Structure 1
Amino acid sequence: MSRPYTPCLPSTRLRRAIVAMAVGLATSAQAQSLLDIYEAARAYDAEYLSARSQYEADLARAEQAKAGLRPQAGLSAGANWSELDSSANVLDGSFTGQNLTLQASQPLYRPANRAASQQGELSVDIARARLQSAEQALIVRTTQAYFDVLAAQDTMTFVRAQKAAVEEQLAAAQRNFEVGNTTVTDSREAQARYDLVRAQEIAADNDLRVKKLALDQLVGRTNVTPLPLATPVELPAPTPADPQAWVALTEQGHPVIQQASRALDIARLETTKAEAGHQPTLDLVAQYQVARAPSTYAAIPGYLRNRTATVGLQFNLPLYAGHAIQNRVKEALALEDKARTDLEAARRSVSQATRSAYFGVLSGLGQVKALEAAEASSQSALDANQLGYQVGVRINIDVLNAQSQLYQTKRDLAQARYNVLLGSLRLRQASGQLSPEDLRPIDAMLAR
């Protein structure tokens, strides 16, 4: 007469352990929202701070370009010593003299300088677009690091839950073997699966440590714990629901297109500067000089002081420069064509990236729905296999495989949700619309 099989359904203690692990891994006294971590990263991340410093340097360089249209002034002074020995009716000997000169000029007509000033204004737009790109990249990197930690925590939770379930299955197989209801194969299969899950737990623990270190490095603090997603998770579809509409948004302010567009404008002005090499220049100049020198005539002993003030116009017209100006114009025109091609390449690249990001979000949403259905099916399959094992129509390996399938599906589902949220930010980045405000909807989805 055969004895009944030992049930292998999860015990109350196991369920409590799973819940405790999930809560312990998902929440912490130091848990922070995505917005909090982003603000911390914005104040600490070296890559972003470097971009801000570069932006300030670009602003200063742009101001330098305006100097060519502004007044220039200079003060110079000098002293000299001379020795005089002459047969004329003069005083021989050693003499010293001093002079002080104040010079000023104001450009009146300098087309090259005016073009350079306009280039400086355009370079400010490029600097601003570069900083915007750096900020958008920081948003994505912060969100990536945030979700990497959450995904690693989920993996650890599910691996430990699977380990506890396999441990119970191993204990049940050993009990059934001891009473003669099963063969040693069931125990060995359960032991092999338990050892495998232990190895997965070690790998998951290491991955969690690495992901936490990456997040800590980003914000400049230690033991930063992100808030988990609240359940149930509602993932919004991209709006507008048309990839061409997203592509159209790129022309409204994508930083890459802005940089390429301003670079073309600067190249055109560079051609203007080169062509200005043939044109005259006109400056208003003024000078005031005071000189003190000894008298060399015997009839006028002592020192003489001279004061001279001049105001005038200075005109320059280049006549021939060895064909340097003509070749400079050719070079500028070629670079202008290059800038025009670069702008078109930027538009094509941005358009492709935007479409890819859009379809990536749609694909991710579809995967989430499929995995949610797979999770429910895997749970039903596990319940059926456990019941079948209990009544003797299923073997131990069937239960172990069903457990592995369920927890793998849970891990894939959690990762797919993070990928969709991150993908929505990448879509806005690809279209040039990403800003810190886009973190608020995601932040509102976190458990408080």
Structure 2
Amino acid sequence: MQRPLIAVLIASALTLTGQAQAADLIQVYQQALANDATYAVARNTLTAGQERITQGRSQLLPVVGLQGNHSRQYDTVTPPGGIKRDADSHVNLYTLSLSQPLFDYGAWQSYEQSKLSQAVAEVQFAQAQQDLILRVAQAYFDVLTAQDNLASTQAQKSATTEQLASAKRNFEVGTQTITDTHEAQAAYDLVVAQEFAAINALEVARSALQQIIGTAPATLSTLRAGVTIAPPQPANIEPWISAAEADNFNVAAQRLNVEIAKREITRNRAGHLPTVDLTANVNRNSAPVQGVTRGNSVGVTWTVPIFNGFAVTSKVRETIALEERARNDLEANRRAAAQNARQAFLGVNSGLAQVRALQAAEVSSQSALESNKLGYQVGVRINIDVLNAQRQLYSTQRDLSKARYDTIMNGLRLKAAAGTLKPEDLEPINALLAG
């Protein structure tokens, strides 16, 4: 009674192990979050960028400093009619100073710029998060594409091997010519070469995925047969283009850069304005002759720039040109985002149409192959007809898988162009994968 139970337990363990080895898209994405170097760079850049406001605010806060000086002086003193003697004295000086800006328009503009700079860092990190989703999904489906190509090639190789063996047998018994054998041999040699290329392509795709997740990828879950890919919602292209022009992260970052450039113009113009600081000092001076003296002072220090060699005027002209460049960059990014959204939207709809057409073509190709095999057996079709039908079927199946992958990727790119792509968008795609 125990042997069947043990066998069942072993079989269950092997089944669970096999399932554990197959990683789905969400699991691969989690690995990338932990190990991708490019994403880690973006995360570190965000951490550094979050210090901008503190640094900008520091120019508006008081500066407190303590200075000191300790000196020892050796003198030789010879009074009139007296005896020469050595004098050794110690002098200690301490100064505690405070300076609080009361009016510094340039420093205030720098503080406002620091807020915008931190916002840019946050937007750029959000863009890096979207890029990671796209890179992981693309690498994942590149591996699946390479696996499909290899499986199709190996299936074609197996079928071609059977056709070659059949052609040789028929030639030996005299029912076919040597031409059929040569055609089958040529098809076999070609598919062997294609198999080597497919193996290499799969290894390259797996290496690209490994570069993102940091470890050699496990067996990946594949798309279930006959899955249905949802069309984009909304189904009209105009809302997607409008969202891309307004909410795309590259556009948002560049919009903030325009504001920073405008603040930079104002900051440089502040070089013509006076600055006013509140200053306070506490002094303590200890000397042998004077003894200990203490002093406290509080006052206001102001500075009025009069002439600095036209440096301020030149900087203002420079920043005006840079602000105009930032505006042009904003327009270029807006147009690029709209184009990416338009291209991805058309790619999704075109891909859905291709999937439907290739599904019909797969059924037709399968029927054509079966008809050619039957015709070959009864002598109304030749060997090359069967080989061509096989190639057509495998090519159609390979193209169908690729069309599904491309359609899914275009759906993700569409959301990225609109600035709405989130990790949660991988869940419905992951549901299409076989467990």
TM-score of the superposition, structure 1-length normalised? 0.88
Deviations 1:223-252 (A, max 9, x none): 422110112210111111122210111244
Aligned to 1:158: 152
Aligned to 2:35: 44
Distance 1:330 1:87, change over 3 A: farther
- Indicate whether 1:271 and 2:265 are aligned: yes
- CA displacement at 1:86 relative to structure 2: 8.3
Aligned to 2:129: 135
Aligned to 1:310: 297
For the residue of structure 2 that corresponds to 1:434, the secondary structure is coil
Of residues 50, 53, 73, the one that matches 1:59 is 50
Aligned to 1:72: 63
Deviations 1:7-65 (A, max 9, x none): xxxxxxxxxxxxxxxxx9xx764111111111111111111111111121222244212
Aligned to 2:210: 216
- Indicate whether 1:369 and 2:369 are aligned: no
Aligned counterparts of 1:35 and 1:68: Cα–Cα separation in 2: 46
Are the equivalent residues in 1 in contact too, given 2:245–2:337 (CA < 8 A)?
Answer: no
- Corresponding letter in the other structure for 1:117: Y
Name the stretch that deviates more: 248-257 or 368-377. Answer: 248-257
Aligned counterparts of 1:183 and 1:76: Cα–Cα separation in 2: 105
Aligned counterparts of 2:316 and 2:197: Cα–Cα separation in 1: 62
Aligned counterparts of 2:325 and 2:195: Cα–Cα separation in 1: 54
For the residue of structure 2 that corresponds to 1:282, the secondary structure is strand
- Corresponding letter in the other structure for 2:308: A
Name the stretch that deviates more: 170-179 or 390-399. Answer: 170-179
Give the 5 Å matches for 1:231-380: 231-295=225-289, 304-380=291-367
Consecutive unaligned residues in structure 2, runs of 5 or more: 1-14
- Corresponding letter in the other structure for 1:313: V
- Indicate whether 1:438 and 2:425 are aligned: yes
- Corresponding letter in the other structure for 1:309: N
- CA displacement at 1:355 relative to structure 2: 0.9
Deviations 1:349-375 (A, max 9, x none): 211121112112222222212211211
For the residue of structure 2 that corresponds to 1:284, the secondary structure is strand
Aligned counterparts of 1:123 and 1:368: Cα–Cα separation in 2: 45
- Corresponding letter in the other structure for 2:272: H
Aligned counterparts of 2:345 and 2:367: Cα–Cα separation in 1: 34
Aligned to 1:381: 368
Aligned to 1:95: 89
Aligned length: 416
Distance 1:222 1:28, change over 3 A: farther
For the residue of structure 2 that corresponds to 1:414, the secondary structure is helix
Are the equivalent residues in 2 in contact too, given 1:212–1:224 (CA < 8 A)?
Answer: no
Deviations 1:268-323 (A, max 9, x none): 11111111111111111111111111117xxxxxxx11111112211221122222
Structural RMSD (CA): 2.1
For the residue of structure 1 that corresponds to 2:185, the secondary structure is helix
- Indicate whether 1:447 and 2:434 are aligned: yes
Are the equivalent residues in 2 in contact too, given 1:166–1:193 (CA < 8 A)?
Answer: yes
Deviations 1:139-188 (A, max 9, x none): 11111110111111111211111111112222222222222211122122
* Percent identity of equivalent pairs: 45
- Corresponding letter in the other structure for 2:128: A
Aligned counterparts of 1:138 and 1:39: Cα–Cα separation in 2: 11
- CA displacement at 1:92 relative to structure 2: 7.8
- CA displacement at 1:398 relative to structure 2: 0.5
For the residue of structure 2 that corresponds to 1:69, the secondary structure is coil
Are the equivalent residues in 2 in contact too, given 1:107–1:282 (CA < 8 A)?
Answer: yes
Aligned to 1:31: 22
Aligned counterparts of 1:349 and 1:442: Cα–Cα separation in 2: 26
For the residue of structure 1 that corresponds to 2:420, the secondary structure is coil
Aligned to 1:122: 116
Aligned counterparts of 1:354 and 1:440: Cα–Cα separation in 2: 22
Are the equivalent residues in 1 in contact too, given 2:258–2:323 (CA < 8 A)?
Answer: yes
Aligned counterparts of 2:259 and 2:292: Cα–Cα separation in 1: 54
For the residue of structure 1 that corresponds to 2:151, the secondary structure is helix
Aligned counterparts of 1:144 and 1:323: Cα–Cα separation in 2: 54
Distance 1:431 1:33, change over 3 A: same
Consecutive unaligned residues in structure 1, runs of 5 or more: 1-23, 297-303
Of residues 403, 421, 430, the one that matches 1:416 is 403
